Amino acid sequence: MGVALISALIAPTVASAMTQAERSGALRVAVAPLRTFELLLDGELSEWEDVPGVSLDSSSYLLTDTALYDGNADLSGAIQFVWDTTYLYVAGRFADDRLAAGAAWTSDRVNLVFDLFGDNHPLSYGGEAPDASRWQPDDQWVYAHIIGDGEPPYPVMRLAHDYHGPVDGALLASRSVEAGWMFEMRVPWAALPEALPFVGAVFGMQIFLSDGDGVGRLTEIMWSERWGHSREAGLVWELWKMGRLVLTGEPLTPGELGGGE
């Protein structure tokens, strides 16, 4: 399906001085090509065949109890991104042995966490993972339950230091398929404070998947690094542990840069 894991190593300047842990520290990069094709947000992903993606599977960071994750048939797949000056578009296709519907925290959910300025550091937060009230204005958690409550379309949600609610203008199209589910969604840049899309823009981003498989069976896997997690308190929001989302494409003319709808 044209999906490849894209990662880049930060070239060490003094290799011999680096520890093994430092050498293994790959900065993960997800590429969002500029949209050059028509997208029909219907939960079918045929338009996305040639778009690069990032894999989330048994090789990803498992945050939750190892006893509850049964490998790729339990949860595995890939997420893809494209963009234009109005929207970030996201698609994903996942194998999942049980679909947990509803908007509960224990049901199936896709999560994107943004550090839009890419400037987070432990010292930004006094060395402690911040609760949401202490997030910077460019820190945003965008999430969607694959099959939410009631009738579709189900909302795309956003949590920030001063907001928790639906993303205005966002759209989610999701569907249950044999042995899994897939989705497409769009998120307006205008709904993400501090987001400035342009060719070459680089945002801090983390991806994690929440796999609800029934009562007491929640698994979470994360893309680029491992954040702390406890059964009681859930995720530790270590916002400085992020990969990068890079917007690529042909340079736009100044007239197009101000475009959108």
| Cα 34 from Cα 53, distance rounded (Å) | 14
Binding mask 83-122 for Ca ion (x = CB under 5 A): -------------xxx-x-------x--------------
CB of 81 or CB of 203, closer to Ca ion: 81
The binding track of 173-212 with respect to Ca ion, each residue x by CB under 5 A or -, is: --------------------------------------x-
Nearer to Ca ion, 41 or 132 (CB): 41
Contact yes or no for 53/79 (Cβ under 8 A): yes
Q: Which of 28, 32, 74, 172 binds Ca ion (CB under 5 A)?
A: 74
Query: 110 vs 191, which CB is nearer to Ca ion?
Result: 110
Instruction: Tell me how far, at minimum, the Cβ of 110 lies from Ca ion, in Å.
Output: 12
The Cα 64–Cα 161 span in angstroms is 25
Q: How far is the CB of 117 from Ca ion (least distance, A)?
A: 31
Identify residues 42-61 at the interface with Ca ion (CB under 5 A): 42, 44
Nearest-approach distance from CB 100 to Ca ion, in angstroms:
5
Q: Which is nearer to Ca ion, 40 or 202 (CB)?
A: 40
Q: Cβ closer to Ca ion: 42 or 50?
A: 42
Residue 19: count of CB within 10 angstroms of its CB:
8
Whole-number Å distance between alpha carbons of 41 and 59:
29
What is the smallest separation between the CB atom of 71 and Ca ion, expressed in angstroms? 10
Residues in 221-240 that interact with Ca ion by CB under 5 A = none
75 binds Ca ion (CB under 5 A): yes
213 sits near Ca ion (criterion: CB under 5 A): yes
Binding site for Ca ion (CB under 5 A): 40, 42, 44, 74-75, 96-98, 100, 108, 211, 213
